[in-house]
Amino acid sequence: MPRLLDWQKSSFSGGGEGNACLELATSAHALQLRESDDPTTTLTTTPAGLQALIHSLKTE
């Protein structure tokens, strides 16, 4: 039976109405990301992949 993921909401989430939040969960070999407005769609990446994405977004 697959292990259920423990999703954590971003600390930058404003919590206001209509605002989507980024949620993150970890599994044995990957990170899972999803938007709270669409929790059935997830992005799977590695810690290095997420670090590269964040670095790229910060430099834009």
Q: How much is the pLDDT for 21?
A: 86
Q: What share of the chain is helix, strand, coil (3-state, %, to 5)?
A: 20, 35, 45
Chunked in runs of 10, what are the mean pLDDT values of the chain (60 residues)?
77 66 88 89 92 89
pLDDT attached to residue 39? 86
The pLDDT of residue 31 is: 93
Using DSSP's 3-state secondary structure scheme, residue 26 falls into: strand
- Give the count of beta carbons closer than 10 Å to the beta carbon of residue 34: 19
Domain map (residue ranges) of the chain = 22-59
Which residues have a Cβ under 8 Å from the Cβ of 43 and sit 6 or more positions away? 32, 33, 34
